[in-house]
Amino acid sequence: MRTLQGTPGSPGVAVAPAWIFSRAALDLPEEPVEDPDAEVERLRDSAEQVAADLDARAAKAEGELAEVLEAQAMMARDPEMIDVAAEAVRKERTPAARAVVDAGETYAEALQSSESEYMAARASDVRDVCARIARRLVGADDTFSQMSQRSVVVADELPPADVGELNRDLVAGIATAQGSRTSHTAIVARALGIPAVVGLGEVEVDPTDEIAVDGDSGQIFVQPDEKTRSEIEGRAARAEDRRRHLIERAASLEGDTRTRDGHRIEVAVNVATEVELKAGLEAGAEGVGLFRTELLYLDRTNAPSRAEQSEAVRSLLGLLDGKRLVIRTFDFGADKPVPFLNLPSEENPAMGVRGVRLARDQPELLDDQLAAIADAASSGDRIAIMAPMVATAEEARWFVERVERAEMEAEVGVMLEVPAAIFMAEEIAEVCDFLSIGTNDLTQYLFAADRQNGRLGSFQDHFAPALLRAVKTVCDAADGRAWVGVCGEAAADPLWAMVAAGLGVEELSMGPEAVLEMRVSLSESTMHGCRAAADAALQASDAGGARRAAEDALG
């Protein structure tokens, strides 16, 4: 047995035979070709067909994925790469499929040796494009359609074009050498509920190997020994039992989520992409509590057009069919790369010109986004718009006025993630329809503890009494003025959610994978119990104590 450590990409465990997704899975012909000119012709035709196919996929995709696919289409048409491959066909009589893979490899290797993460990612884009052309040349089926039994997909990196085609009945788990928790593969795997480990560095396995994936610890086991195998199988079986049990318990749920004593608590989903929204709705999400719009802007050399932004909003509204969509206006600054803005670098970007601060600095950016949202809205849609990083009531007023000027029917709110805003929640609630507490950033700022710094991880416990008291302060201040939601990671924890409901939170928004369990847990609770849990947790002096107190109070 070999154990490899990577990054947890999507929770859960699975054991299954490896299904290797790479150009190695392709049987490349070796026989010298008889008619090089005809072979070059085939090469050019296949490359053009692949480029056209990628263009078509790009047209259907959105945001970052669309741009990656467009860049890949350009790679398939790359005049230099095609010439290099064509020369190998003419001079060495190399079959075109092999020639194009070899040509791509010389570029990919050069890119991979770059220190930049961007470039390494482009190396896998190049390999993917050349493998697609080769597959077309040898008449092989496209990628996942060849998979016939339930398997763990092992890949260097799953190309964006293929991630969307993952079939959760056949793909038991995913293990990739590249990628991080925020890469496209991880996002889609979480949305589909497929266990995944990413960023393994290197995964060398044989097609005959059995692979155990532990998406919770971020480990994979190649040819697991009996003990590991049965442990993983046991966990997988228990998870499956729990899932089945959840579905059974959820079967009686209809429509809105209510506690047993009849209090409505809205369970919503956090999304950046359509695939997450589809998964959330399937699990019964009652709306979107946080639409992160940054994907449209990041890594771009020019601002996304109003039409493009509008289309992204419209695609979500179409799926929501009258359910509420809470849109967070762009939340970036020096902490995230937005090339077209040319923002000066800052000493301390987490506390710099970001969110609503950047919007005030460059109001035309915000106006453009608001106009795009207004374009997307039609009658019957329920839209809510909120500003990130609001610190003062004056900023909240400014934002509300800006949205009013865009002339659309929408609720207007702000995110509460800056401690100063907690203390001014009453004044802020006066001018808003709703307040949404972003627990991740709020915790970071409350404790002055960088959330990216692993050594300070213990500060990120959402049961910290300081955070619970902040939530209570907000709920008390907003009472009768505005509704309160929570959209941080804390909102995905059923026990925490019950405490929050007891404090007065009316809406909880979480990743799609957490929606079903949350609806079931809240439906089986009572508001009476939630309030008792909240009172008990508030009295604790540390996070562990607060968690235990809440558990005890709920029995």
Partner 1 sequence: MPEQEVTLDNEVGLHARPAAVFAKKAASFDCDIKLVKDGNEANAKSIMSVLKLDVTKGDAVTIRAEGDGAEEALSDLVELVGSL
Among 119, 237, 247, 307, binds partner 1 (CB under 8 A): 119
Closest separation between CB of residue 122 and partner 1, Å?
6
Among 30, 34, 116, 379, binds partner 1 (CB under 8 A): 116
342 binds partner 1 (CB under 8 A): yes
Closest separation between CB of residue 297 and partner 1, Å?
12
- What are the beta bridge partners of residue 173? 152
Residues 66-85 that bind partner 1 (CB under 8 A): 67-68, 70-71, 74-75, 78-81
122 binds partner 1 (CB under 8 A): yes
347 binds partner 1 (CB under 8 A): no
- CA-CA distances (angstroms) from residue 271 to 125, 184, 280, 316? 25, 13, 9, 10
What whole-number distance in Å separates Cα of residue 506 and Cα of residue 486? Answer: 8
Among 27, 32, 118, 240, binds partner 1 (CB under 8 A): 118
Our CB check for partner 1 shows the closer of 253 and 303 to be: 303
Our CB check for partner 1 shows the closer of 72 and 436 to be: 72
CB 512 within 8 A of CB 506: no
Catalytic residue status for 130: no
Residues 390-419 that bind partner 1 (CB under 8 A): none
Determine how many CB atoms are found less than 10 A away from the CB of residue 169. 6
List b or e across 32-67, with b for residues whose CB sees 16 or more CB atoms inside 10 angstroms: ebeebeebbebbbebbeebbebbbebbeebbbbbbb
Our CB check for partner 1 shows the closer of 107 and 459 to be: 107
The residues near 310 (Cβ < 8 Å, ≥ 6 apart) are 372, 373, 375, 376
Q: Of 113-121, 172-180, 267-275, 381-389, which segment contacts partner 1 by CB under 8 A?
A: 113-121
DSSP per-residue letters across 15-75: EEEEEEESGGGS----SPPS-HHHHHHHHHHHHHHHHHHHHHHHHHS-HHHHHHHHHHHHH
State the amino acid at position 280 in one-letter form. Answer: G
CB 28 within 8 A of CB 95: yes
Residues 260-319 that bind partner 1 (CB under 8 A): 299-302
Sign of the CA dihedral with 56 first, then 62, 65, and 67 last? positive
Both structure tokens of 290: 């946080």
Torsion of CA 320, 173, 226, 238, to 10 degrees: 0
Q: Of 42-50, 65-73, 173-181, 352-360, which segment contacts partner 1 by CB under 8 A?
A: 65-73
Closest separation between CB of residue 301 and partner 1, Å?
5
Among 54, 86, 97, 111, binds partner 1 (CB under 8 A): 111
Catalytic residue status for 475: no
153 binds partner 1 (CB under 8 A): no
What whole-number distance in Å separates Cα of residue 349 and Cα of residue 359? Answer: 15
Q: Of 117-125, 477-485, 490-498, 547-555, which segment contacts partner 1 by CB under 8 A?
A: 117-125
What whole-number distance in Å separates Cα of residue 423 and Cα of residue 277? Answer: 33
Q: How many residues bind partner 1 (CB under 8 A)?
A: 30
- CA-CA distances (angstroms) from residue 348 to 333, 352, 356, 392, 523? 11, 6, 17, 20, 43
Q: Of 120-128, 131-139, 313-321, 456-464, which segment contacts partner 1 by CB under 8 A?
A: 120-128
Closest separation between CB of residue 299 and partner 1, Å?
6
Determine how many CB atoms are found less than 10 A away from the CB of residue 379. 5
Catalytic residue, candidates 130, 184, 462, 475: 184
Catalytic residue, candidates 130, 432, 475, 487: 487
The residues near 280 (Cβ < 8 Å, ≥ 6 apart) are 191, 268, 269, 271, 288, 512, 515
Closest separation between CB of residue 118 and partner 1, Å?
4
Closest separation between CB of residue 352 and partner 1, Å?
15
Q: Of 255-263, 286-294, 333-341, 349-357, which segment contacts partner 1 by CB under 8 A?
A: 333-341
What whole-number distance in Å separates Cα of residue 284 and Cα of residue 443? Answer: 29
Helix (H) or strand (E) holding 185: helix 184-192
107 binds partner 1 (CB under 8 A): yes
State the amino acid at position 257 in one-letter form. Answer: T
Q: Of 5-13, 21-29, 63-71, 94-102, which segment contacts partner 1 by CB under 8 A?
A: 63-71
Q: Of 43-51, 103-111, 229-237, 410-418, which segment contacts partner 1 by CB under 8 A?
A: 103-111
Both structure tokens of 51: 């480029």
Give which of 73, 66, 71, 79 is closest to 51, Cα–Cα.
73
Give which of 538, 443, 447 is closest to 500, Cα–Cα.
538
State the amino acid at position 118 in one-letter form. Answer: Y
Closest separation between CB of residue 17 and partner 1, Å?
35
110 binds partner 1 (CB under 8 A): yes
Positions in the binding site for partner 1 (CB under 8 A)? 67-68, 70-71, 74-75, 78-81, 104, 107, 110-111, 114, 116, 118-119, 121-122, 126, 299-302, 337-339, 342-343
Q: Active-site positions?
A: 184, 487
